Structure 1
C-alpha cells in the first residue's frame, strides 16, 4: 500500500474531434511552468463550456496529458506543447492520466505572479495607505 487516499489510475486514451472553437480546453505546465511540487507535466486547467472536450465528457480539469497523437510531452516547454496541439489535426488522440479532483485543487499551479500571501499583503498596504492619508489630512488641518 502506498499510503495514498487516491491510488494512481492507468492512463486512458481519449480521441477528440476539433470543433469550431478548437478542442475546448486550456492547459498549464511544462518545464518552464513547474508547479509547487516541481512537476513539469502538462495538465488540463479548464474545460470550456460547450467545447469539444466538454461535449465528449471524458477529459476533466486536473487530468495530466502524457502524449498528443503519440508525441510524448515529457520535458517540453509550455509553448512547444501548444504548438503540438495547433498542428495536431482535426482528430486528436490524447494519452491521459486521470487525476482525482481533490488532488488537482491541492496541486494546481497558481497563476503567474500570484502567491497565496499576495491578498493579505495587498490588504495591509491598502490599510497602511489609508492611515497615512488620514494622518496627513489631520496634520494639514491643524496647521
Structure 2
C-alpha cells in the first residue's frame, strides 16, 4: 500500500482517479444525516462499480473511509453535500482514504503477548513427528533381528 500506517491498525493512502464518462465508479454512504456506522458521520465507499474508474485502478475498496476529496476534508458533511463535492471534483480526482488493516498471519507458533489460544501447531507437530520417526526406527530394527 502506498501510504502510512496510522495508530490503531489503520492505513491512509492518496488515490488519484480520472473521471470516466460514467463517473468515478463507486457509491458512498454516510454523512452527518445518514450515519453508516453509529456515532460516526464519516463517508465510506459502499460499492465499487465494475469497469468504473475506481475498479480499473484497483486500489479503492468497499469499506474504505474517504477523508478528503482534492484536499477538501469530508468531516461533518451531510450526505448530499459529500455527493455534490464528488460531482464537482473535476476530471482528475485525488482521494485521501483510510483503510482498516487486516491482521496478518505470522510464522507457525508465533503468539503475541496476551493472545489467548491453544498450543501452537509446531508444539504438537514436532514431538509427534519425533515419536513417529522413533517408532519406525524401532520397527525396522525389530524386523532386522528376525
- 2:9–2:101 Cα contact (<8 Å) kept: no
Distance 1:58 1:36, change over 3 A: closer
- 1:28–1:43 Cα contact (<8 Å) kept: yes
Report Cα offsets for 1:39-86 as digits up to 9, x if no partner: 110000000000000000000000000000000000000000111111
Cα RMSD (Å): 1.7
Listed as ranges, the gaps of 5+ residues in structure 2 are 1-7, 103-146
- 1:65–1:73 Cα contact (<8 Å) kept: yes
**Structure 2 matches for 1:39-78, cutoff 5 A?**
39-78=40-79
Report Cα offsets for 1:72-102 as digits up to 9, x if no partner: 000000000111111100000000001358x
Is the helix fraction higher in 1 or 2? 1
Distance 1:31 1:70, change over 3 A: same
User: What is residue 35 of structure 1 aligned with on the other side?
Assistant: 36
Distance 1:95 1:36, change over 3 A: closer
* CA distance in structure 1 between the partners assigned to 2:72 and 2:86 by the alignment: 10
Distance 1:36 1:23, change over 3 A: closer
SS in 2 for 1:84: helix
SS in 1 for 2:97: strand
- 2:11–2:101 Cα contact (<8 Å) kept: no
Distance 1:66 1:20, change over 3 A: same
Between Structure 1 and Structure 2, whose CA radius of gyration is higher? Answer: 2
* CA distance in structure 1 between the partners assigned to 2:66 and 2:91 by the alignment: 18
Shift of 1:25: 0.1
- With normalisation by structure 2, the TM-score equals 0.62
- 1:62–1:100 Cα contact (<8 Å) kept: no
Shift of 1:10: 2.6
* CA distance in structure 1 between the partners assigned to 2:18 and 2:91 by the alignment: 6
Shift of 1:23: 0.2
